[in-house]
Amino acid sequence: MKEYQLFINGEFVNPARREWFETHDPYTGSAWARIPKGTKEDVDRAVSAASTALKEGVWPTLTPTARGKLLRRLGDLILENAQHLAEMEVRDNGKLMSEMLAQMRSLPEWWWYFGGLADKLEGSVVPLDRADTFAFTTHEPIGVVAALTAWNSPLLFVGMKCAPALAAGCTVVLKPSEFASASTLEFMELTRKAGFPPGVFNVVTGFGADTGAVLAEHPDVAKISFTGSDATGARVYAAAAKTMKRVSLELGGKSPNIVFDDCDMDQAISGAISGIFSATGQTCVAGSRLLVQNSIKKQFVERLVETVKTAKVGNPQDPQTNIGPVATADQFQKVLRYIDIAREGGARCILGGNARTDLPGGQFVDPTIFDDVTNDMRIAQEEVFGPVLSIIGFDTEADAVRIGNDVIYGLAAGVWTKDLSRALRMTKALRAGTVWVNTYRGMSFNLPFGGMKQSGLGRENGIESVREFTELKSVWISTATSGPANPFILKI
Ligand code: NAD
């Protein structure tokens, strides 16, 4: 079984206490690699390496253009190694090989884009209302960034966090999910090949409650960029408050996918399916609440169910597979628990609702659809993070807005209509960081992504996301040849 090491200060090293834990393939159920169990000593070493690299050595002397070239070279290497990286991720999180390969092939775009932005972080000259003074602003790297990531798309999250952080001139300590750490560790070999100086990237693996918590509390970390559940996000936010760390939080969702009776029904059916069943429902943007206008609901639901029935559940490596396993044993139990909660709450199961016992690994759930859901039920309010769809009927546009917004989350929403005016009204009325019209689940390196309400704080992707890794500094320069007439009075 492969045994991994931590990556600190440009070297692969053993964890201080020489302890490892096993990582499992969700499809076979068997352990396939040993991941280092990092402790406080390791976190201290990694943060110290990142702090030193921020202030000394090659990294702070590089011009932004030279930094950008390193990022772009890393993008090239990701493309060359896309197949291998995708295989690593599938082994850890059980997502479909076809999806992860596509993700790895588009991931270089993040590194190329943010590499290109590294030398475009321009400050401004401010024309102050006073003579003999020159004032300007600069964007400085915020400091050491702790990047804490979830298991569903580990290297995409590394790109979304580290590419803008490094473009801004920061250094990073990564803590991937204990359920999917291998690809992040392997990725470090590519950062070495690309030529990043030691200490710029560091990875400490381990469990959230200890390794992650120690990193989130570390006094020398200036910013935490976190992707995970809202419960953990709240803990991280509280830990950050102790030393006023900056935070970005990308958290959960209960996104409404809203189908009006004037939609293109074929398109809306595929959008509803990919919204909830791709990635086995394990995406933060899952369209887990399908709001269908009552005038077409019967017909729409019948056609939806007919299509979902044809889904092939099974081996994520098989290109014919539509739905893979649930990634972890805990998550599998959680999905089954929510199926019970939905039934107990009065929702009507019209498809699936079972664990699959005929497949290896023991972590498969049939694609599940509940009808007659009302928005006050727990199944409509709480994130399941699995292949479970709740269908809610509505009559008017105002109802759709009210129901769509009536959750604590605000990450994403979908709208299906051919009426342009209605589409625009809906994009304005829905309280979500992303609204898709006649499409669902798109993501791009250059379009901001993030949540409103309890789905998070800050934005990833796009130009603005680099600024989240900088501090804005104002500089005053007096060009006067003599001091003020009265030095005891501050001139405002
Ligand atoms: P999680 O919150 O359990 O873990 C996320 C990360 O935080 C892991 O690295 C974990 O080890 C670490 N962690 C756990 N406890 C910690 C603590 N006390 N202090 C510091 N770090 C700690 O989430 P998960 O199960 O890995 O991921 C699923 C969740 O992530 C879902 O809620 C999903 O919606 C969310 N998610 C959000 C986005 C987004 O961009 N908004 C993307 C993907 C996933």
CATH number at residue 90: 3.40.605.10
Indicate if the pLDDT at residue 169 is higher than 80: yes
Model pLDDT, residue 156: 98
Q: Whose C-alpha lies nearest to ligand 1, atom 10? A: 208
Model pLDDT, residue 277: 98
77, 144: one domain: yes
Q: Is 250 a catalytic residue?
A: yes
491 confidence band (pLDDT: 50, 70, 90)? confident
232 in ligand 1 pocket by Cβ < 6 Å?
A: yes
209, 88: one domain: yes
Using CA atoms, how far apart are residues 437 and 420, in angstroms rounded to an integer? 10
Residue 444, domain member (yes or no): no
**What's the Cα-to-Cα distance from 267 to each of 257, 296, 396, rounded to whole Å?**
13, 14, 21
307, 374: one domain: yes
Q: Give the nearest ligand 1 atom to 179 CA.
A: 26
Model pLDDT, residue 37: 98
Length of the chain as a residue count: 492
CA of 107 to the centre of ligand 1 (A): 20
Q: Whose C-alpha lies nearest to ligand 1, atom 35? A: 228
Q: Which residues contact 408 (CB under 8 A, 6 or more apart)?
A: 230, 254, 381, 453, 454
295, 366: one domain: yes
Q: Whose C-alpha lies nearest to ligand 1, atom 39? A: 250
* Residue 338 contacts residue 384 (beta carbons within 8 Å): yes
Which is nearest to 29 in space by CA: 121, 116, 120, 91? 91
Model pLDDT, residue 259: 99
| pLDDT tens digits along 65-82 | 999 999 999 999 999 999
Mean pLDDT confidence for 367-383 = 98
347 confidence band (pLDDT: 50, 70, 90)? very high
216, 300: one domain: no
348, 428: one domain: yes
| pLDDT tens digits along 443-477 | 999 999 999 999 999 999 999 999 999 999 999 99
389 confidence band (pLDDT: 50, 70, 90)? very high
209 in ligand 1 pocket by Cβ < 6 Å?
A: yes
Residue in 178, 186, 217, 250 annotated catalytic? 250
248 in ligand 1 pocket by Cβ < 6 Å?
A: no
| pLDDT tens digits along 129-154 | 998 999 999 999 999 999 999 999 99
Residue in 284, 383, 460, 468 annotated catalytic? 284
Helix, strand, coil proportions of the chain in percent (round to 5)?
Answer: 40, 20, 35
| pLDDT tens digits along 469-489 | 999 999 999 999 988 888 888
Domain that holds residue 69: 2-251+455-475
149 in ligand 1 pocket by Cβ < 6 Å?
A: yes
216, 323: one domain: no
What are residue 161's phi and psi, to 5 degrees? -95, -50
Model pLDDT, residue 483: 85
Burial grade of 474 (CB within 10 A; 0-12, 13-18, 19 or more): exposed
236 in ligand 1 pocket by Cβ < 6 Å?
A: yes
Indicate if the pLDDT at residue 15 is higher than 90: yes
Q: Whose C-alpha lies nearest to ligand 1, atom 9? A: 177
CA 486 from centroid of its chain's CA atoms: 55
Residue 368, domain member (yes or no): yes
Q: Whose C-alpha lies nearest to ligand 1, atom 40? A: 250
Q: Which amino acid is at 98?
A: S
Model pLDDT, residue 485: 82
The pTM of the full predicted model, rounded to 2 decimals, is: 0.97
409, 464: one domain: no
Q: Is 349 a catalytic residue?
A: no
Mean pLDDT confidence for 175-184 = 98
Q: What percent of the chain has pLDDT over 90?
A: 97
* Per-chain mean pLDDT for the chain: 97
